[in-house]
Copies of this chain bind each other. A is one copy, B any other.
Amino acid sequence: MKKAGVVGATGYAGAELVRLLSAHPGVKLNMLTSRQYAGSSIAEVYPAFKGVLDLVCQPFELDRLCEAADVIFIALPHKLPMGFVPQLIKQGKKVIDLSADFRLKDAAVYEAHYEPHTAKDLLPEAVYGLAEIYQTEIEKTHLVGNPGCYPTSALLPLMPLLKAGLVDSKHIIIDAKSGVSGAGRSLALTTHFCQVNDSFKAYKIAAHRHTPEIEQELGNAAGQPVQISFVPHLVPMTRGMLTTIYCDLREGTSAAKVKECFESYYKGRYFVRIGSEGQSPDTLNVKGTNFCDIGFKIDTRVNRLILIAAIDNLVKGAAGQAVQNMNIMLGLNETKGLTQTPFPV
């Protein structure tokens, strides 16, 4: 059985990886690293794990990591992963990086939004890990750039329609709403309970770094460059993301065609659930799961298609999709370890 390691195991995405991998029937979770909590058991950091998991967080050391793990998940802030991923790849490891470092194909775009890229050589072979879209490529790669939460929720509904030419690639507007865990476990006034509770606001209006990532993939699907408007908002809840998308319909596109396009594109894909026209997905229904629920409605008077996608930002938007990618990379069924029955409430 393959051995898995999680670098940065004590942030929210890291801990969610620990949750999923520790119960995964196809791999053995064998190494956790944490700078802040090295030496502590993961159950001391997250007491929910008490009596269930007894792994101790290790300081990050490349050699020990490579010894302990065949598949390595990286849940660190961007910039850090590109510093050591090349060595992991050289050692023959399979790597799933949850940061932005290996998502963007064009180093110049990365550098415009982040900082100088120090592992550009790897960009061509890195695969954008949107599992339902790039399965074939993921099967063959050693390096996955795991998608951001916002991009996942925007791309799953949009890409099939763009590929099929059912919607126009101009005038796409993405209005997204995220639970607070997406901001991570670091302390900030913006995640202080009293600033968030019973409150709602936008942030980084048309200035969020997930924008180029979304545009790269929409461009791939449309076959030409795409520019969007993207506004994220913060919802007073822990988990969940709902993304509402507005786009212009190509002539002749009916609700039936939209539904058919989704059903055919996502045929056999367990994690994408398509609703009837006019039904709204609800983050409640995907909480704790790797599902992406997609809804749609044609606003006939203005010939506009409204798409809505709901995911759990920590699962399909991060750790769950990462495990799904691992499954695909290892030749396992993509659903392995990801089929816990959802909670009714």
Q: Could you tell me which A residues sit within 8 Å of B by CB distance?
A: 12, 15-16, 18-20, 22-23, 46-53, 171, 173, 175, 177, 179-181, 185, 187-189, 191-203, 205-207, 227-229, 231, 233, 235-240, 242, 244, 246, 270, 273, 278, 280-289, 291, 293, 295, 297-299, 301-302, 304, 306, 308, 310, 339-345
Contacts and interface: CB of A to CB of B under 8 A. Distances in A.
A302 to B, nearest CB: 5
A201 B12 contact: no
A282 to B, nearest CB: 4
Contact of A50 (B18, B23, B53, B273): B273
A155 B219 CA distance: 34
A199 B52 contact: no
- Tell which of A187, A201, A238 has the most Cβ of chain B within 10 Å: A201
A342 B49 contact: yes
B201 A180 contact: no
B282 A200 contact: yes
- Tell which of A201, A231, A344 has the most Cβ of chain B within 10 Å: A344
Q: List 3 A-B pairs, minimum CB-CB distance, nearest first.
A: A15-B344, A199-B284, A201-B282
A341 B199 contact: no
B199 A282 contact: yes
Given A175-B175, A205-B308, A233-B244, A49 B200 contact: no
